[in-house]
Amino acid sequence: SQELEQSPQSLIVQEGKNLTINCTSSKTLYGLYWYKQKYGEGLIFLMMLQKGGEEKSHEKITAKLDEKKQQSSLHITASQPSHAGIYLCGAVPGAGSYQLTFGKGTKLSVIP
Q: Which residues bind another protein (CB under 8 A)?
A: 4, 30-31, 35, 40-45, 48, 88, 90, 92, 94-105
CB of 63 to another protein, least distance (A): 14
Q: Among residues 30 and 63, whose Cβ is nearest to another protein?
A: 30
Measured from the CB atom, the residue of 76 and 90 that comes closer to another protein is 90
Comparison of 5 and 77: residue with beta carbon closer to another protein = 5
C-beta separation of 107 from 11 below 8 A: yes
Beta bridge partners of 43: 37
Q: Which residues are within 8 A (CB) of 72 and not within 5 positions of it... i.e. 6 or more apart?
A: 22, 23, 29, 32, 34, 49, 63, 64, 65, 66, 89
- State the nearest-atom distance from the C-beta of 40 to another protein, in Å: 7
Shorter beta-carbon distance to another protein: residue 30 or 65? 30
CA dihedral of residues 109, 57, 88, 107 (deg, nearest 10): -10
Cβ 56 to another protein, closest distance in Å? 13
Least distance from another protein to the Cβ atom of residue 6, Å: 8
